[in-house]
A = this chain, B = another copy of it.
């Protein structure tokens, strides 16, 4: 009855098998990317505190000193990795938003759906995000980048809540609701990452949709497979 939880790609998948110069001598950018991917792997597999330069180098099948050559220190590698994930996530939701048309209901639904897309929401990435969250409080450098749902995202949610409220005369406070919504999404990510219970990408999305349904009853309706805008 439950779709055999789509265990996302194995953590160590050969990701960039593109024929880009592999053996020796790849371009600076290719190597940096390769090392960043290896870092995400390591964060996901061993956690922040046990991610070592050696493990990253091994994961990239390169020598020990390589990271200090392309990045300069472990700290800078980690910041670059976080920046990469941040940029990727931003591009992802902006893209979903742009494709959603002009209707606020559609736009909000698109944002929520995008959040549980395999591209950004898989064990590997979620584990890496959480590793950074755990260190963010005590590291100013991480703090700004750790909240994937940043100011832009938050403002957009607020704008959408306000528009839906104006359209249907809901009684809620759009500020509080936007905060609740982004917290809900992040909380669901956390649950997914923990991997306890039987929470899967599907159930998480259903829970988020349940929120949309009960909060904006005049905008959405229950469908066989998710929700639909009225």
* Chain B residue with Cβ nearest A215: B214
CB of A229 to closest CB in B, whole Å: 17
A172 contacts B210, CB within 8 Å? yes
Number of chain copies forming the complex:
2
Residues of B within 8 A of A90 (CB): none
One of A16-24, A64-72, A200-208 contacting the partner: A200-208
A120-151 interface bits toward B, Cβ cutoff 8 Å, 1 = contact, 0 = none: 00000001001111111111000110110001
CB of A47 to closest CB in B, whole Å: 4
A190-208 interface bits toward B, Cβ cutoff 8 Å, 1 = contact, 0 = none: 1101111101000110111
B177 contacts A182, CB within 8 Å? no
Find A190's partner among B154, B183, B209 (CB 8 Å cutoff). Answer: B183
B134 contacts A170, CB within 8 Å? no
Residues of B within 8 A of A184 (CB): 180, 183-184, 187
CB of A183 to closest CB in B, whole Å: 3
A190 to B143, CA, bound (A): 12
B190 contacts A186, CB within 8 Å? yes
A48 interface residue (CB < 8 Å to B): yes
Chain A interface mostly: helix
Near B by CB (< 8 A), chain A positions 19-44 give: 44
A47 contacts B190, CB within 8 Å? no
* Chain B residue with Cβ nearest A195: B137
A3 interface residue (CB < 8 Å to B): no
A45 interface residue (CB < 8 Å to B): yes
CB of A39 to closest CB in B, whole Å: 14
20 example contacts (A-B, Cβ-Cβ < 8 A) are as follows A44-B138, A47-B135, A48-B49, A127-B137, A130-B137, A131-B134, A131-B137, A151-B197, A170-B214, A171-B222, A172-B214, A176-B206, A177-B211, A179-B207, A183-B207, A187-B188, A187-B190, A211-B211, A211-B215, A214-B215
- Which 4 interchain pairs have the tightest Cβ spacing? A134-B134, A187-B187, A183-B187, A47-B138
A47-B138, A179-B203 known; 9 new pairs, CB 8 Å cut-off, are A47-B135, A130-B137, A137-B195, A143-B196, A146-B194, A177-B210, A180-B207, A183-B190, A214-B214
